[in-house]
Amino acid sequence: MATLESLLNVYSLPTGRRIVALRAVREVAAALGLTVLVSFLDTAIAHDEQTRAVELDWVRQKRQPAANPGEAVVVDTELDRVLGGIHAVLTGVVEGALPGQPVEEARTLLTLLFPAGLAGLTQGTHVDEATAVQAVLREVSKPEHATRIQALRLGPSLDRVEQLATRMTGILSAAAKSPTLQYSSVIDSQQKGLSNLRETVARVIALHVSESQPDTQARARLLEGVLRQGEAFAEAYKRRRGGMDVNPVTGEPAEDVVG
């Protein structure tokens, strides 16, 4: 029975249950032609749908692996070492070639890979180095340089450079994605949703305020969905076995997203 006492003790329903409950109230209110209440419920439901999206964003954000600044240093050190080895090989061929060594091939690759020298490629910031390395790799990977790379047996070393540069870019990208959603924003949205639920109950009570049979029956009809979700939530809370929230689309039990 939807007595005033029972309605004034509505449970703090989680977001999924709130959405299901509010939709149930809206269906009855629309059938009764309560346009003002329907308009309020549309706003309340839209807010809690957004709250649900915010909760899911928060969960996804928490699950993202935190960027490890130390990993960038490790990758940068290895990248510098490999680039230094390639530079040493090419310089050695150009400056002290033995008979039969591919001097012109080495000279061409040296210019392509290190247009500003080794330091020009390795002494910048992590971002600068990763960008510059990927640029020279795009240039040297053109088909006309394949025979030069093969003559100097640089294929494996260049592959390693590409792997490290790609890894560095990934690390930098992850580091740039600093958390944009604060937990306080999630809580604020949830609290607004709870406030809307309480206001829904208050609006229904204001329409049918007495303990008379007609008012009691009208309240019961309008707030059946709220009371049903409240009872189910209380039972799930008592069991403490999960499923205290529900999927707002299917109404099936689901774990709380946040809270």
Per-residue pLDDT of 167-184, as tens digits, reads 888 887 776 555 667 888
- Check residue 254 and give its pLDDT: 77
Q: What pLDDT, on the 0 to 100 scale, is given for residue 95?
A: 87
Measure the CA–CA gap between 213 and 1, rounded to whole angstroms: 10
The CA distance from 183 to 61, in Å, is 11
pTM above threshold 0.85: no
Give the whole-number percent of the chain exceeding pLDDT 70.
86
Choose from 123-132, 144-153, 245-254 the range with maximum mean pLDDT.
144-153
Q: What is the pLDDT of residue 179?
A: 60
Output 64 or 75, whichever has higher pLDDT: 75
Angle at 197 between CA 193 and CA 199, to 5 degrees: 115
Per-residue model confidence as pLDDT tens digits over 112-132? 888 888 888 888 788 778 888
User: How deeply is 78 buried, as exposed, middle or buried, from its count of CB atoms within 10 A (0-12, 13-18, 19+)?
Assistant: middle
